[in-house]
Amino acid sequence: MPIKSGGETSVENLALACVSCSLHKSAKEFVLDPETNKFVPIFNPRQQDWADHFQWVGFRMTGLTATGRATIETLKQNRPIILAIREEEQILGRHP
Ligand SMILES: [Zn+2]
């Protein structure tokens, strides 16, 4: 929960993320689903299960729900550098 919405700078409220994901998420709590063009809650890994909202199609993440689609789009989870990293990780046996 962002500070602007009353979130605290406590371990329970902070999340470890790469710089890119952190900047793309920013203080967003609701994000635009590209399929329905409606704002939906961004994926919350503490309260939701990844597999309920996402799946792998090769190296690409695809959304199974509005939240999944909107989170992928907002965090740019299929940008070329991430796809290249996932490909390298698969060679090393670490993806998915
Ligand atoms: Zn990231």
* pLDDT at 36 (0 to 100): 97
Distance 23 CA to ligand 1 centre (A): 9
Q: How confident is the model at residue 15 (pLDDT cuts 50, 70, 90)?
A: confident
Quickly tell me which residue has 């700078």 as its tokens. Answer: 9
Q: 30 C-alpha vs ligand 1 centroid, how far in Å? A: 18
* Adjacent-strand bridge partners of 31: 40
**32: amino acid identity, one letter:** L
Q: How many CA atoms lie within 13 A of 71 on its CB side?
A: 21
Decide which of 1 and 56 is more confident. 56
User: How far is ligand 1, taken at its centre, from the CA of residue 81, in Å?
Assistant: 11
Q: How many helices, marked H, and strands, marked E, lie in the chain?
A: 4, 4
Instruction: For residue 39, report the phi and psi dihedrals to the nearest 5 degrees.
Output: -80, 135
CA of 43 to the centre of ligand 1 (A): 14
In the prediction, which pLDDT does 75 show? 97
The predicted-structure confidence for 23-81, as pLDDT tens digits, reads as follows 999 999 999 999 999 999 999 999 999 999 999 999 999 999 999 999 999 999 999 99
